[in-house]
Amino acid sequence: LDIQLAKQRVEANEGRLQSSYWALFPVLSLGGQYEDVDGHARATSGEIVDVGFSGFQLLGTLQSILNVPKAVSDIAASRKRLMAAHYDEHGAEATVLRQAVNQYYDLLLAKSRLALAYQTLSDAEERAGIIRAKVDAGAAIEAEAARARAELSRERTNALLAVTNLYRASVALAQTLHLDPTITLVPDASEIKESVLVDPRHMIDDLLSVALAHRDDLYAARELLAAAHADKDGVLWGTA
């Protein structure tokens, strides 16, 4: 949705820029008037006479812009807003991509936690069975069996929570990717591999330079500031 809104803002600013360009050209308005008279009319001498005539008049107006500097300022402001809209579009795409990647890793982590919860639950069931057999054989007391049952109940609850977290992570990723949320997404990877996102050999100043170079929102803010200055110039030329 954010990407679609950004694309619509780009289209709106493109239309505004085209309108600013057309403001430099003169506007030609053509029209016509047709008149058909058939009947009686009073002559200048006062007599009633029969009349019948028709006529057609062609009308045209040519309007030309008089304040060229203001039109140029409007064009500059529209171009800056269009550039800002493009930066916003790129920023929205990067934000959605980053969100999808984070949600994928959340889904992968939820899957790993679910596998661990099932394994822990299986161990708890096996341990509860062994202790139950020892109690029946007189080799353990009933308190140990009760403790094993409590541990088994806790692990079952943890397994249910792990399943719930997996479903939640699946729904979140499906919504981001515009997929059917009723379909459970399961990652193909069996384990989370370590990935080096930032080279530790780089200095902090270099990392900040790279980060600022990829901040589309900062570029968009600069373009909007330039558009505001162009609007100010246009207002000054309009009142001149």
Q: What is the pLDDT of residues 74-97, one digit of tens each?
A: 777 777 777 878 777 777 788 888
* HSE-up of residue 177 (Cα within 13 Å, Cβ side): 16
Average pLDDT over residues 103-130: 90
* HSE-up of residue 21 (Cα within 13 Å, Cβ side): 7
Percent of the chain scoring above 90 in pLDDT: 14
3-state SS, residue 40: strand
The candidate with the shortest Cα–Cα distance to 155, out of 113, 108, 110, 184, is: 113
Q: How confident is the model at residue 121 (pLDDT cuts 50, 70, 90)?
A: very high
Q: What is the pLDDT of residues 179-238, one digit of tens each?
A: 887 888 888 766 667 777 777 787 878 777 777 776 777 777 777 777 777 777 666 666
Q: What is the pLDDT of residues 169-178, one digit of tens each?
A: 999 988 888 8
CB-count burial class (<10 Å; 0-12, 13-18, 19+) for 13 = buried
Which tokens is 102 given?
């984070």
The candidate with the shortest Cα–Cα distance to 177, out of 161, 90, 169, is: 169
Q: Give the torsion sign (CA, 159, 193, 177, 211).
A: positive
Give me the pLDDT at residue 51, please.
63
Give me the pLDDT at residue 119, please.
93
Chain Cα centroid distance, residue 140: 63
Whether the per-residue pLDDT at 143 is higher than 80: the answer is: yes
Give me the pLDDT at residue 221, please.
74
Mean pLDDT of the chain: 76
Q: What is the pTM of this model?
A: 0.59
